[in-house]
Structure 1
Amino acid sequence: MQAIVDLFRIETANTDLMRAQMRALRNQVPLLYVILAINSTAIAVTYLGVAPNWLTVYPLGGLLALCSLRFGVWLRGRRQPLDETRLAAKLRLTVGLAGALAVGFMAWSCALFGYGDAYAQAHMLFYVGTTTIACVLCLVHLRAAALLVTAIVTILFCLHVSRLDNQIMRAIGLNLVIVSAALAFVIVAYYRDFTRLIGQQVELERLSRENLRLANLDTLTELPNRRSFFASLDQAAAEAGAGGQPFVVGLVDLDGFKPVNDAQGHGAGDAVLQEAARRLHAVVGGAGVVARLGGDEFGLVLRGATALAATGEAICGALAMPFRLPHGGTAQIGASIGFAAYPEAGHKAAQLVERADFALYHAKTHSRGAAILFTEEHERLLRTQSVIEQALRHADLARELNLVFQPIVDARRGRTVAFEALARWTHPELGPISPAVFIPIAERAGLITRITAVLFGQALAAARAWPERVALSFNLSMADIASPQAAAALVAAIRASGLPPERVILEVTETALIQDVAQAQTVLETLKASGIAIALDDFGTGYSSLSYVHRLPLDKLKIDRSFVSEVTTDPASRDIITSIAALARNLTLDCVVEGIETDEQARLLKELGFVLMQGYHFGRPMAFPDTLRYLDSEAVRAIRPVQAVA
């Protein structure tokens, strides 16, 4: 019995189902009223003049007035959003009205039935059957209403024909019962399938939303990902272009993250990224969007940011605080930020990101650990770099590039042990361009490997003219140690030149190494296995050098000139240099001190135990022919005068 009662209940606990039922009824119930009005008017016309007007016209007028009222209500409802709070009440009202209309129309039909002849009664039977089926089909998504209409029509009609002394009518009533039972079965089965379908649709929508969320989410940090960032940026640009508030694009790069990740493991690196994301979100809050673009780079979209300097300072300060690692200990990193403001830096999203990236590059190059806003000066630099990049792309590198060489001296013996090759470029129209300018541009533009190939060939040719005791020291870029193929090309060039690999020293910087320490280690080991010496240039200027220097196949450490400039006046500089020398001895590495400009610096460093030195005090960079004259002069100075025999 309870199961039968449940068939006539509204499933108020299933909001998704009620929402789907209301949407379906909004489309179908107006049709129900149209069918009722047309069919009922037709039956009234059949009985007009046969049955009294008070029975034919007036009840129909009242029923049609109610139908018209409800028809208008449903039509208005189709243009309005669903009221989630009244779904159950509206569905209950629909069930109640369906039952009331079924009783009203059936009572009217039964009252008219006895007045007509056989044709009129046949029309009435057709009207009851077809109208009932049509109305039930319109209400099929609301099981309670469809079953209630079916039950009311069947019961009232069967009660009416059972009182008639007509076997045919009774047979028709029995047929109606059978058809109604079948119709009820279909209603129940369809409703079950409809409920299951809605459940599946809800699950599919949930999965779709989850997939969309995951497609726009960085799963590690729970921040929006690169795709979501650019969608937010496009939206902000569109709104600003339509008269909305301006905004600022920011790119945040973690300084010193890769050494932490390599030395402490990916678990520690992930923990740092998660905490960095939390700190960024805490600083930015609801003032904008924070997204992870990939690796250790984050993107910001700050709407209407006026206190940009304070925001940048707060972000850098937050990310400079120590990070607690999962298995104990802490990590110290920093952050550099590039900002680009709309519309000053551009109107299009891609342009703003390009400007922010340039500002970030400028920050990492000149103001590491700070926030830089893209300005008109940066725009001029960017245009200049664009001109230089195009010039590089179309340059005759073999003719326009050349090398100068600076001696590396054994200060105790007073002789040159190597020359460092330094790149120079003279463009036919732009004139001389500093390597500090064109090398970074070439690296960013992917042109550096071509430059390396040309210059390395020139350097090897020059070294063949030097005495065997003089080695060649050549600088490599990030791209040159990015793959085993690049290392193989360097080895092949040395073999083709005929110069012994033992006379070649390849210098790499910390900045290049920390891009991918594991890959760099593989490439350097390949070079070392060929007999080439490896020197770590600018040692001490990067992050966490000690955490990975022992893992690399190094032969020399080159102490950066920044530690030498004040070595004679600053005890702290002397202590740092002495510590580096001790580290080199413990790792059995040679140590080269760069940037020596005075005799006083040279004497002090010699007293501290340093042997290999380089700087203007010993020789400025010189062209290849000058290296030969320099070596000849050095050889002459080394010859001691022969004492005359008495």
Structure 2
Amino acid sequence: MVVETSSEIDRRPGSARQKTGVGERDFVSLGIALAAVILFVGTAGVVLPALFKAWNGEAASPDVALTNALLLNVALILLGWQRYKSLSAELKARRKSEEEARRLADIDHLTGCFNRRSFTTLLGDRLTHLERREHALAAIALDLDNFKQVNDLYGHQAGDEVLRNTADRIDRLLPDGAILARLGGDEFVCVVPYHPQVPDRVDQLTARMAEQVARPVKCETATIDITISIGIASSRQLDDMRNGTTSAQSLMHKADIAMYHAKKQGKNRFYWFEPSMENELRFRNELEAGIRRGIVNGEFRPYYEQQIDLETGRIVGFEMLARWESPEMGLVGPDIFIPIAEDIAVIGEMSEKLIAQAFQDALAWDASLTLSVNISPVQMRDPWFAQKLLKLLVQHNFPANRLVIEITESCLLENVGMVRSMITSLRNQGVHISLDDFGTGYSSLAQLRSLPFDNLKIDRAFIAELKNEENGAKLVDAILSMSDGLKLPVTAEGIENEIILETLKRMGKMKGQGYHYGRPEPAADVLRRLEEQDLLAKDLPANVTEIDFGKRQPGREGGTRAV
């Protein structure tokens, strides 16, 4: 698997070349055998001639003690030699086992590549010796895109096959002197020598890696397509290369930062490390830590955007939108923290807390008003999501028929069977299901007919074109005609001005929302708005006794008012 020279093998941790033969022989047994041989020679010089003469009748029998000593010497020679051979064989087997153990400690057993520990040591040695040369080293960090889905959909055996194929394909492309390692999971790294004046060769090598890894992998149960994100860092970007493993870890860290940048830019691409990327990553880490703290401290709040019946102009419901009221950064929009929360797997916890608070807020609204909640595609992968949502409904005594779950078209790509099961389970309990961002190109007419949606939401990008594009009006009109055929009500999002509103009114009956009616508001502002329109609940549940309007009431210092 790994291309390396003899000198590189010598620098490899635990290499057999670093061991000597001292101590690998039983010198005691060998010494006894040699002493017995010497004694045998001396004794035999006296006994054997006398013995031959005695056999020929030329002399008396040799001394019995000397004869016994000779026989004893022979026995000691045989015993010592046998013992020496036995111990030598045992030591040889033990040495072989130790060498194999050291090799296994340095090699990833699944792919045959180096592991993190041995690779870091090798890279540190190379960097130390590199200062006396004109060449540079490029560390290339590689990470498979969406590899977790491979394990989830096809099983870990298929995932292992993908990893082995990936390692083989990368290794076949590496030039002489390169080293490949698997750091763990679906992370690989290789180091490639190159001349600083021709970095394009590293670009070409990396492009071929991405191309080869993207070829389908045929497993027993499926053919799997996967891509790879790559980050590259040069040894020229290190301040000091003489610190061995410390320098190696620094170079690998820079390559990893560049790889993460490639992930963020859309995956299936490569980038060279730049110092600005490190600042971005540091900010990202601060955001991750802030999000985790914010969930614990209750900093994420539900805001509400009005949904209007375009024909009557009356409020018919609200869409709940998440906002982060951060003590350090102020009010943060969901476009910043939602993707990060999905990446670090806290979106479920965050969403459940927001939904629970939204149920509590919406109990103070008129019973005719609906509450729409966006569901992340990550949550739709949770087979227990429907049960968790229904449990929240029961806990907060919120009517299921007032809840509208909005799922995006991208959810349909991942697992239509699971989505259908969840939708059916929720609809059986009275929850309404809306297909969000309709028109972005994922759904087919067959899917719309087979999945039990209650509503379609036209993506704001199409609605925005109504203000000055005739083709935009034709596209929206076509969507409305299709929804009429499917008998699905429509909600238009992104109504920004009176021109768009009047155009939609002429197209037919529908609901709408957008900044033309006002921006998303916290719960207190919603209650003031509903109070003005006499749309507050007439009979509050027992667990809702006061409503916070966020303003002082006459004759009171506090900010609450009984309803």
- Please say whether Structure 1 and Structure 2 have the same fold, judged by a TM-score greater than 0.5: yes
Q: Which of 143, 151, 166 in structure 2 is aligned with 1:253?
A: 143
Structure having the larger proportion of residues in helix? 1
For 2:168, give the aligned amino acid: R
Question: Could you say what secondary structure the match of 1:217 adopts?
Answer: coil
Q: Is the 8 A contact 1:415 1:634 kept in 2?
A: no
Give CA deviations for 1:287-343 in whole Å, capped at 9, x if unaligned. 6443444554433444558335444433333344x4153469865443323345557
| Deviations 1:514-556, CA, capped at 9 Å, x for gaps | 9999999998888677655566756798999999999999877
Question: Does structure 2 retain, via aligned residues, the 8 Å contact 1:223–1:290?
Answer: no
**What is the distance in 2 between the residues matched to 1:475 and 1:415?**
22
Q: 2:212 is matched with which residue?
A: 318
Give distance in 1, aligned partners of 2:207 and 2:21: 55
2:10 match: none
Q: Which moved more, 1:344-353 or 1:371-380?
A: 344-353
Note if 1:172 corresponds to 2:65. yes
The residue type paired with residue 224 of structure 1 is C
2:111 matches 1:217: no
Kindly indicate whether residue 183 of structure 2 is the aligned counterpart of residue 290 of structure 1.
no
Q: Which residue of 2 aligns with 1:500?
A: 399
1:102-121 alignment runs, 5 A limit:
none
Q: 1:446-484: per-residue Cα shift (whole Å, max 9, x none)?
A: 665664455334322332233434332334557766767
Q: Which residue of 1 aligns with 2:230?
A: 337
Residues 565 and 423 (structure 1), Cα distance of their counterparts in 2 relative to 1, 3 Å cut: same
- Which residue of structure 1 lines up, in the alignment, with residue 116 of structure 2? 229
Amino acid at match of 1:254: L
Given that 1:233 and 1:301 are in contact with CA atoms closer than 8 Å, whether structure 2 keeps it comes out as no
- 1:312, 1:370 within 8 Å by CA — same for their partners in 2? no
Report whether the alignment pairs 1:420 with 2:319: yes
Equivalent position to 2:268, from 364, 369, 386:
369
Q: Is the 8 A contact 1:509 1:536 kept in 2?
A: yes
Distance in 1 (CA, whole Å) between partners of 2:520 and 2:226 is 36
Inter-partner Cα distance in structure 1 for 2:217 and 2:473: 30
Alignment of 1:406-417 (within 5 A): 406-408=305-307
Change (3 A) 1:562 1:288: farther
1:39-78 map, 5 Å? none
Q: CA deviation at 1:599?
A: 8.2
Are the counterparts in 2 of residues 249 and 352 from structure 1 also a CA contact under 8 Å? Answer: yes
Q: Cα distance, 1:506 vs. partner?
A: 4.2
User: Residues of 2 paired with 1:426 and 1:383: CA distance?
Assistant: 21
Q: Normalized against structure 1, the TM-score is what? A: 0.57
TM-score, structure 2 normalization: 0.64
Change (3 A) 1:209 1:563: farther
Q: Indicate the residue corresponding to 1:276 in structure 2.
A: 166
Distance (Å, rounded) in 2 between the aligned partners of 1:440 and 1:507: 17
CA distance in 2, matches of 1:499, 1:439: 25
CA contact (8 A) 2:154 2:222 kept: no
Moved more, 299-308 or 171-180: 299-308
1:593–1:614 contact (8 Å) kept in structure 2 = yes
Gaps of 5+ in 2: 1-15, 240-245, 536-563
**Which of 45, 55, 58 is the equivalent residue of 1:156?**
45
Q: Distance in 2 between matches of 1:533 and 1:350?
A: 52
Equivalent-residue separation in structure 1 for 2:100 and 2:450 (angstroms) = 46
Q: Distance in 2 between matches of 1:577 and 1:448?
A: 36
* Matches of 2:483 and 2:228, distance apart in 1: 28
**In structure 2, what residue type is equivalent to 1:160?**
P
CA contact (8 A) 1:419 1:471 kept: yes
Cα deviation for residue 417 of structure 1 reads 5.4
**Deviation readout 1:582-609 (Å, 9 max, x if unpaired):** 89999x9988665566888889999999
Contact map agreement 1:258 1:514 (CA 8 A) in 2: no
Cα distance in 2 for partners of 1:272, 1:544 equals: 29
Q: 3-state DSSP class of the match of 1:461?
A: helix
Unaligned 5+ segments in structure 1 are 1-15, 33-132, 138-145, 637-646
Paired with 1:300 and 1:570, the residues of 2 have a C-alpha distance of 54
Would you say the 8 A contact 1:345–1:374 is kept in 2? no
Aligned ranges 1:301-450 → 2 under 5 Å = 301-303=191-193, 306-307=199-200, 308-320=202-214, 322-323=215-216, 325-326=218-219, 332-342=225-235, 344=237, 356-389=255-288, 391-392=290-291, 400-408=299-307, 418-442=317-341, 448=347
Larger-Rg structure: 1
Shift of 1:382: 3.0
The 1-side partners of 2:422 and 2:455 are apart by 17
**Quick one: distance in 2 between partners of 1:579 and 1:292?**
49
Report if the CA contact (8 A) 2:229-2:263 is conserved: yes
Matched length: 500
Q: What is the CA deviation profile of residues 482-519 of structure 1, one whole-angstrom value per residue up to 9, with x for unaligned ones? A: 76788766544433322123433445668899999999
Q: CA RMSD in A?
A: 5.8
Q: Is the 8 A contact 1:250 1:356 kept in 2?
A: yes
Distance 1:197 1:340, change over 3 A: same
Secondary structure of the 1:423 match is strand
SS at match of 1:420: strand
Partner SS, residue 499 of structure 1: coil
Q: Taking every aligned residue pair, what percent have the same amino acid on both sides?
A: 29
Tell me, yes or no, if the aligned pair for 1:268 and 1:326 is still in contact at 8 Å: yes
Question: How has the CA–CA distance of structure 1 residues 175 and 208 changed in structure 2, closer, same or farther, with 3 Å as cutoff?
Answer: same
Note if contact 1:325-1:331 (Cα within 8 Å) is conserved in structure 2. Answer: yes
- The question of whether the paired residues in 2 share the 8 Å contact of 1:259 and 1:544 is answered with no
Q: CA deviation at 1:421?
A: 1.6
**Shift, 1:175, TM fit:** 1.1
Residue 422 (structure 1) shift: 1.6
Residues 462/370 of structure 1: CA separation in 2 closer, same or farther (3 Å cut)? same
User: In structure 1, what is the Cα distance between the partners aligned to 2:147 and 2:450?
Assistant: 18
CA contact (8 A) 2:127 2:248 kept: no
SS at match of 2:267: coil
By how many angstroms is 1:348 displaced?
5.6
Partners in 1 of 2:179 and 2:445 — Cα distance? 37
Closer/same/farther in 2, CA of residues 369 and 184 from structure 1, 3 Å limit? closer
491-500 or 542-551: which moved more? 542-551
- Counterparts of 1:127-166 in structure 2 under 5 Å? 135-136=34-35, 155-162=44-51, 163=53
CA 414–349 in structure 1, closer or farther in 2 if over 3 Å, else same: farther
CA deviations 1:144-202 (Å, max 9, x no partner) are xx6xx687556533233335988684323421342134224414542553365256436
The structure-2 alpha-carbon separation of the partners of 1:193 and 1:333, relative to structure 1 and needing over 3 Å to count, comes to closer
Cα distance between partner residues in 2 of 1:154 and 1:584: 118
Tell me the secondary structure at the aligned position of residue 324 of structure 2: strand
Q: Aligned AA for 1:314?
A: R
- Alignment partners' CA distance in 1, 2:166 and 2:437: 28
Residue type matched to 2:108 in 1?
L
Higher relative contact order (Cα pairs below 8 Å, separated by 6+ residues)? 2
